[in-house]
Amino acid sequence: MKTKRISSAMEKMLNEQMTREAYQAQVYLSFGCWAEENSFVGVSEFLYRHMQEEREHMFKFVKYILDRGGSISIDTIKAAPKAPKDIGDCLEKILKHEIDNSKEIDKIVNLAHKEKDWATFSFGQWFVKEQIEEETLINELIDKYTLASKEVTDNVNLYEMDKDLASASQHATIPREEKL
């Protein structure tokens, strides 16, 4: 049993975020299944890999809460959203989920700052950076989709994009990491 080093309010907020990361994994899982059902195998592989990343995020919260002497409360995970209309809609919905998630991470960092809980503030910074990366990554995919789907009439580029996503990185280079 460790000494509890986070406030009860922070413990609650971190537990809620843990469940939210599990929900994020369900979103990627459900959209990945939708893509595979619709023969976009590359897109589905990308989404399944990202589902694993979200589970890792969830587990980071589990470990952090326990390391700081808090208790884990495993809660209900919301149902995954309805299937998207097409790949563009899928990517737009994912972006919205990521932006919503970034706002929730900001709340944790704000509370940590208010409480002068510098350990959680530091822990939260990893997620702030991760969310910048994830939003950038999805924005880049939306750009690729726009190029692939809007500028040709026969959609051959959509086939190329699907192959591209099969091996696409799960990480984007964020501006401050750019090498000159």
Q: How many helices (H) and strands (E) does the chain have?
A: 5, 0
- Choice between 47 and 148, CB closer to ligand FEO: 47
Provide the minimum distance between the beta carbon of 39 and ligand FEO in the complex, in angstroms, as a whole number.
25
- Choice between 54 and 148, CB closer to ligand FEO: 54
Which residues would be at the binding site for ligand FEO (CB under 6 A)?
21, 24, 54, 57, 98, 101, 134
Q: What Rg value do the Cα atoms of the chain yield, rounded?
A: 18
Provide the minimum distance between the beta carbon of 90 and ligand FEO in the complex, in angstroms, as a whole number.
15
> Which residue in this structure is represented by tokens 């690729």?
144
Provide the minimum distance between the beta carbon of 152 and ligand FEO in the complex, in angstroms, as a whole number.
30
- Choice between 125 and 155, CB closer to ligand FEO: 125
* Non-local CB neighbours of 149 within 8 Å, separated by 6+ positions: 87, 88, 155, 157, 158
- Choice between 11 and 21, CB closer to ligand FEO: 21
Q: Which residue is nearest to ligand FEO (CB)?
A: 57
Asked if 45 contacts 31 with a C-beta cutoff of 8 angstroms, the reply is no
* Non-local CB neighbours of 69 within 8 Å, separated by 6+ positions: 1, 2, 3, 4, 5, 6
Provide the minimum distance between the beta carbon of 144 and ligand FEO in the complex, in angstroms, as a whole number.
19
